[in-house]
Amino acid sequence: MFTKPLYYRDGSLRDIFIFNTSRDDWAKWAELVNSEYSVEYKYYDTDKTETAIDIANVFAVWDGLSEQYARASINVGGCIVNCFFFVENELDNDIAPKEIHSIEEHNALMHYLLQVSALLQKPVVLTPELTPEEILLIAINGQIQYPKVSP
- What pLDDT score was predicted for residue 1? 40
CA distances from 110 to 66, 76, 126, 137, 151 (A): 34, 10, 10, 10, 25
Q: What are the domain boundaries of the chain? A: 14-145
At a CB cut-off of 8 Å and minimum separation 6, what does 8 contact? 97
Please compute, for residue 6, the number of CA atoms within 13 A of its CA located in the half-sphere on the CB side. Answer: 24
- What pLDDT score was predicted for residue 69? 96
Please compute, for residue 89, the number of CA atoms within 13 A of its CA located in the half-sphere on the CB side. Answer: 1
SS3 32: helix
From first to last of the 151 residues of the chain, give the pLDDT tens digit: 446 688 988 999 999 999 999 999 999 999 999 999 999 999 999 989 999 999 999 999 999 999 999 999 999 999 999 999 999 999 999 999 999 999 999 999 999 999 999 999 999 999 999 999 999 999 999 999 998 765 5
The rounded distance, in Å, linking the Cα atoms of 42 and 19 is 24
Evaluated on CA atoms 60, 28, 108, 124, the torsion sign reads negative
- What pLDDT score was predicted for residue 27? 98
- What pLDDT score was predicted for residue 147? 86
The rounded distance, in Å, linking the Cα atoms of 18 and 136 is 14
